[in-house]
A and B are shown apart, each in its own frame.
Chain A
Amino acid sequence: MKVDHYRRLMAMQMSRRRMMQGAASLGALAAAGGGLGAGPASAEAHGDVRAEILKIPGVGMGSPTDADWQRVGELCLGATRENVAEGEFAGVELTFMGLNNQNLHNFLFRGFLKPWEAYTGAKINWIDLAQADYNARLQQSIATGTVDFDILEMGAPFEGDTAGRGLLDEMPDWVADQIDSDDLVGYLQPPVGTWDGKTYRVNIDGDCHTFAYRKDYFGPGGIGGETVPSTWQEINAASKALVGQTDPLTGLAAHGYLDPLKGWGGFGFYFIANRATAYVKHPDSPAWLFEPDTMKPMVNNPGWVQAIQDVMDLVDTTGAYPSDQINADPGTTAFQQFLAGTGSMLMWWGDVGSSARTSDTSVVGDVVGFGINPASERRYNAMTGEWEQERNEAPQMAYIGWGIYVTARVQGDEKKRKAAWSAAAHLGGKDIALWMSAYPSGFQPYRNSQFQYEEWEAAGYDRDYIEDYLGSNLDSYNHPNAAIEPRIPGIFQYYSVAEDELAKGFAGQYGSAQETADAIAAAWEEITDQIGRESQIALYKASLGM
């Protein structure tokens, strides 16, 4: 996902473009064929294609255009040709609903699918939506029974709203083979990507929050301490210890961890969840937001309350946060604070890593390091109701990532169905995925084959930096205790109302963290009752693979 907010997108587009500018020639990449060939078996088989598409448009050649996208789409048609005869879908018309964020998403898909249309004979009609309109359009289509699209670009959290209501078509086996599902990173393997045991999703994106920190704050002689904080307890201690000190880079006031204290259309909830997962995501259970059997919120259990209390402690510590932090949303903490040299620790999506060295607004490119979501020195076991003195890591796969889905509208017309899945498989192909991670696309890596650092190094990246940045993604994706959000209907309603209550709590309108958490829990219970508790329980279990 990653592209849900305008400014975040702005930063992203800028960064990816800049990433390409000034880097070494991709001719060198082609020459370094051994590097590419070192990839997995499938990559080896398509080595020529992978090398070829990485030259489009080439380093320092500016941002890719529609012609480039079409050329990439043409070169990546091999897998389609193996499953579809030329002209097989003549006369088929499909409607594709997706986003138009930052002239990416659907704009790329159009280019990629142009040669697919020419080869198969199918025609695609497009519904382009702004991010802000997407949820409303999707929900209204579902609620009013006016689903008018065959192919859908959708985030995994909405699977409850769609798959849960039988609106999606199950992925045929040949598609799984074509897109090489086994190459997906760990957390995207079932049950994620499946619903009630069935697969509906062609992945095109991966998502997780990773930890970014300032190397010049930490280490020998660093104002933040000898070592980089690796637990939330250490982070809070470091944040308090930094009060009154001076930032080594900017000469302004030094600050520690940057909690966003303002809501962000529901997305801000992911950030308090970063702290909470370390406390409450127990390795023995996939549930950390609701109890699966009752949908009782876990958000007011002692683990969550501790996470909220940690933030309140810093709110109460004068100078721990930059001034006006109560009005800082996640976009502010990442792009106006951390990258601009304010604060020393942050949790965010991959954009921060790609922007740190390339964005014009970033001043921290040379002093930024990455890691997975910090741990907790103790964890709360919701099953026993006891605290356990065990170190607990639980990176959060915030938003899970975008995917391509086929709606049930195609059922009953086998030709149309195959056409829709063929288009989806083309976009979720292994080679296109490589290109999308190297050029502006709006998508994070989501396949193991995208983490061949040789390819990045040959493209001109600093190997150490890329290993640090992408490695934090890979480690999060494949973490055995990854925290994956429930894909239930209305999940963002829960997040949105929690943001409102947290804002009141952080502003001191509730007496304690517990009161704040109880208010969230009460609001969540109302939402669950309104949507339907029994159906939510059933869908929650289905999403957890229970």
Chain B
Amino acid sequence: MTGARSERWTPVLFLAPAVVALLAIGLYPLLLALTTSFRTYLVAKPNLPKDFVGFANYAAVLGDPTFWQALGRTFLFLLVVLPIELAVGLAIALLLHQPGLSLLRALLRLSLVIPLATTFAVVGLIGRLMFNDQFGVVNHLLGIVGIAPVQWLGQPTTAFLAVALMDIWQWTPFVALVLLAGLTMVPAEIEEAAKLDAGGAWAILRHIQLPFLLPGITAVLILRTADILKLFDLIFVMTRGGPGSATELIAVYIQRIGFRVFDQGIASAQAILLLIVTIVLSRLYIRLVYREVA
């Protein structure tokens, strides 16, 4: 009897630390943000009362044109970087999936991990140096092919482009590794049979490999969308959201409200709205893209 009871509790005890940690670092901050979003909470004015204000913070956020502009800029960023990361990542994955390239594959896999292992802030610093108009490597390379130096970080469009390029540099390897994992799931005999049936590379990709890639693509879409919606460090170090507000994505704006203006009520309402956007997009991705292999 005692043995049966202890057997019943063993899994609970094993799971408990993870569940407690998840509640502490996941659920508690979320609930705190939710309750804060319904209050006046100016951190830097501790003498002001933290009154319950209902949906006033949400109304203020929804009526704030800067919030919408930052959100629009974030979706533009998403639309620029995600397709490129998927296309280039798929090309790398297909290259590494070729038989007989074991040394190249080992080297490339190793080098693909390097950008992933670099923190966002360091990527921002690298970007600031690479796109420096005086001694940056990007202008140096352009100079070799006869293109005049570009004021990358001093002009709105080029600054946006420079930040996008750094994001693509950092995250394309992640996409490539996820898609490569998907390709390794394709049964070798089916691929062989398709090749023998004289199927072209496109036909094999479309009909044989793509079904195995869809779960990975869905994961990439969800993770990268969430990443871009909270992209802060890279931009703060590289451009601080400028020039003007050219690179002020939504997370940079929320940080500005939360930790410069110290209006935690408004910042929490913005964060909750952003969470809702992320959840809606994730559900859309799963509904539209995700397919189990039949």
Q: Are the chains A and B members of one assembly?
A: no
Task: Please give the residue numbers on chain A whose beta carbons come within 8 Å of chain B beta carbons, in ascending order.
Answer: none
Task: Please give the residue numbers on chain B whose beta carbons come within 8 Å of chain A beta carbons, in ascending order.
Answer: none
